[in-house]
Structure 1
Amino acid sequence: MAGMRLTKKGHSCVRLTRDDGRVLVIDPGGFSEADAALGADAILVTHEHPDHFDEGRLRAALEAAPGAELWTLRSVADQLSAAFPGRVHTVGHGDGFTAAGFGVEVYGELHAVIHPDLPRITNIGFLVDGEVFHPGDAFTVPERPVHTLLLPLHAPWNKFSEVVDYAREVGAERALAVHDGLLNDTGLGVYGRNLGPQGPGLGEATGYTRLAPGDSTTL
């Protein structure tokens, strides 16, 4: 496997760059940096909520790079496949594929419950190169160990205890915060303290890190 660098692009979006220069972007939504998907060779989208899926930005990225392709679930694919024939691929739980040289496995089926009065939509998670898992908006546990969990920190559908328990169940070597675009600096500080040694933490197996938008780390 080629080396891989992860760059946080705001909220729940990350950009993965291999040593050979190929780029994969996950969930370039409306809360992410506006150029998050531009220049990507492959794009993955976990579900249709606008903080993960911005149709206008995705169309711009696909139009700017004729070789770029998108892998996603049906609810998103149906909105783009006609405009980009052969470049939008529908995938679901249990599927595996190669996207711009990245090996990808798909896990999960449903978005976490926001409230019983709201219907649940579909949601899938992506495990990339057996290294980094993005669950989208769900506490999906992949069916094999992963090194890096992209941990949904704060959302209308979760609470702190669930975030901790989920990270402990996955047991990754490290958890990188995503889904944090609704938190101000005060809130980020509270989460950081409680997920680190000053709080209950994520267990002995998992270290917690938050990257600011634009920051990178090597996987």
Structure 2
Amino acid sequence: MIDVFANPLFGIAITLLTFQAGSVLYKKLNYSFLNPLVVSTFLIIAFLLIFHVSFDEYNAGGSVISFFLGPATVILAVPLYRKISLLKENAIAIVTGITLGSAAGITSIILMCKAFGLDEMISTSLVPKSVTTPIGIELSTQLGGLPAITIAGIVVTGIVGAVMGPAICKFFRIEDKVAVGIAIGTSSHALGTTKAVEIGETEGAMSSLAIGIAGLVTVILAPLLVKLLM
């Protein structure tokens, strides 16, 4: 069994199988909190703990899947291309919304960390929680944070956004498709965008656009807001 767990195919297989199980469960029950990513994450953690498999053994194959996350993200440009006219019509509102959303996300996490008495390193590590992982890791390093904490924050933020984002928009009666997509993409990056794509093509297109712009805005604003508020 040790040889099986050490094989890179183990990490790939268990990731695909648990995600497929989560997808089937989600389609059957249709509960937002049963998002396939959430289900597969808990199933993998449970498996590793029960069978005493180290993360390094799992990641030998899991890292292969992680490698394809970047290229896979490119597909998000397809719905954006189809809605390019909508982007041109609402360019000012979209850029303004993403900028204010990113600033609010950075400010809120800093103030919350201060309210809970977290030290500066953890606080700066959580600042890039709403951007995509490559940008978040680099920004966290520049700010003096710990990339490992940043990654955890990004994953949790994405999962929460994918699960709760649509419900929050519905609660506040946000019905405009552009606004819904921008809100989800700005607050919960690519993981939230997977849910936005599921909601509709326009929402998915705007959410994928928000990922790039929010990343750029966060890189510019984060150092300024950290210096000002911390």
Task: Give the TM-score normalised by the residue count of structure 2.
Answer: 0.26
Q: Judging by fraction of residues, say which structure has more strand.
A: 1
Task: Give the TM-score normalised by the residue count of structure 1.
Answer: 0.26
Which structure has more relative contact order (CA 8 Å, sep 6+)? It is 2
